[in-house]
Amino acid sequence: MTSASAARRRARKRRPASSSGIFFAGLACVALVLLSEARAATASLEARVDGGRVRGAVAHGVIAFKGIPFAAPPVGALRWAPPQPVRAWPGVRPALRFGPDCAQWPTPGDDAPLRTASQEDCLYLNVWRPKARSSRSLPVMVWVYGGGFVDGGTSPAIYDGTEFARDGVVLVSFNYRLGNFGFFAFPALDGRAGGGRRADYTFMDQIAALQWVRRNAASFGGDPRNVTIFGESAGGMSVNALLIAPLARGLFAKAIIESGAGRDNGYPLRSLTGSPDCAEAIGIKLARHLGIDGEGTVAMAELRALPAAKLVDGLNLDTRDDDPTYVGGPIVDGGLYPGAPVKIYQAGGGARIPVLIGANTDEISHWTPGSFAALWRSFGSDAAEARRIYDPDGRRTLQEVSTTAGGDQWMVEPARAIARILSARGQRVYEFRFGYRATALRKTLSGAPHASEIPYAFDTVATRYGGETSRADEAMARAVHAYWIAFARTGRPDPRGEPAWPQYHQSTDRIMSFTDRGPVPEADPWKHRLDIAERLARRTRH
């Protein structure tokens, strides 16, 4: 090579790149950056759980994962069996839509209408978490919906967990089997395969969901050691059941019970065996009603082969109490569900953790006395005082009085009884009475109806009341929501900027009243009234 040609070659090496070369190189760099960011964004939407990876969706600063299976479908041979592990899936499972709510016949006019078509394959859960990862593990709250153990699911809009996640909580909701799928006993059902568990499949599902939370909460930034369960109505009753269930011990650190009763006056509480109206006897009656005779394995196989719709059998809140083939609710099996929570607490049972408990000012009731005379007679020596309290001017109807008095007996007084028992043995307990009425309904409501606190706890009042939502409604929602979150974080409902919530002690009987004027800590204004309800409960051995 000549010196001249060598010089030309060196010159070509030193020559600046052309503008087109710079442009395409820049595009390549941008593409690499965008690809890297896309991969990072995709990764942030994913989590590894039992069975494989799931991918959620982001909105409003929150990532929601919906329709994650926490147990195998309870169908076929797994109908009336303890929940079984999920099967692994390949790749990444989209978690963008709610799984089906459990098989049911929805009650018309429900304030929390389902947004799925219900079916028997229903053991799915949902998780909401903040989009931004925290340097610390977040508190976890697990919602248990109500519906009388025959209705309900996780899909209703008022149960959306977005606001919890925006406020630094990992919110989980899950489905559980209902009606004849949730509570059922039959002589041929063998509990040995489930460690002796049979009949209360509702509670088995709930425990399986909590076990899933224990194993998987960290994948969503949650702290499995700081789990708070909360539920309303049948969900609140379920929280009570989980507090007294040995198999649930250690799966949660705090509990919130909203209108969750506790005495044995709400459901039949049948024993598993041993009497003409025991749970197995009702199971045999249901089988015959569905055209299946016998009590052995052949009859059991025929029952498991029935279409799910046959077993739903039109059962809902409107028909439940008059259905002689439905066992009615929780079954006392001596193991998973030992009996009425108040009695179990009185005997020293139940988890010893912080509890927040209460009920509403216009609760539901199942009390239907045939006449005023029968109603007042049931109060015994308190009859005159009960009449003065419940019908002071003699203008109320029998239905109005029995609903008010029955609500005290079924929901309000049992909440106080549990608060008294647990606080007396050293547990930290906080009692509430929810009386706030949405401003659009104040002309028609004398008190806060059963379940009306839910959209305030979830801060979803705009979803419930739409354009009629007022600033006062929104302020109350922020307050209730903040109290619930503060309790979940620390075991004390003490959010900054809100009135201090007194710890419950029988000697002071102080509660937090959520009134139309806002949260008001006060001595229970219903003390005398509930004392009468308590004496009635003792006379009737509830």
- Catalytic positions: 233, 363, 450
Rounded (10°) angle between helices 201-216 and 234-244? 70
CB 22 within 8 A of CB 30: no
Whole-number Å distance between alpha carbons of 196 and 15: 83
Quickly list DSSP for 349-391: -S--S-EEEEEESB-------SSHHHHHHTTGGGHHHHHHHH-
CB 542 within 8 A of CB 261: no
Whole-number Å distance between alpha carbons of 127 and 136: 18
Whole-number Å distance between alpha carbons of 483 and 464: 20
CB 263 within 8 A of CB 539: no
Please name the residue that has the structure tokens 């009388």. Answer: 148
Describe the strand order of the beta sheet including 355-360 as a list of residue ranges. 57-59, 62-69, 124-130, 170-174, 138-144, 222-232, 254-258, 355-360, 429-434, 510-515, 518-523
222-232 vs 170-174, strand pairing mode:
unpaired
Closest to 334 in 3D by CA, of 210, 538, 541, 185: 185
Count CB neighbours of 399 within 10 A. Answer: 10
Query: Tokens representing 293?
Result: 């005779």
Residues 6+ apart with CB under 8 A from 525: 513
Closest to 217 in 3D by CA, of 334, 65, 49: 49
Q: Measured at the alpha carbon of residue 496, what is the angle toward residues 456 and 362, in degrees to the nearest 5?
A: 30
Whole-number Å distance between alpha carbons of 405 and 8: 104
Rounded (10°) angle between helices 383-390 and 398-407? 110
Query: Residue 233 has what DSSP assignment?
Result: T
Paired strand residues for 230: 143, 256
Whole-number Å distance between alpha carbons of 55 and 63: 9
Whole-number Å distance between alpha carbons of 22 and 504: 72
Whole-number Å distance between alpha carbons of 31 and 492: 50
Paired strand residues for 254: 228
Name the region of 522 (left: φ>0; alpha: ψ -120 to 50; beta: rest). beta
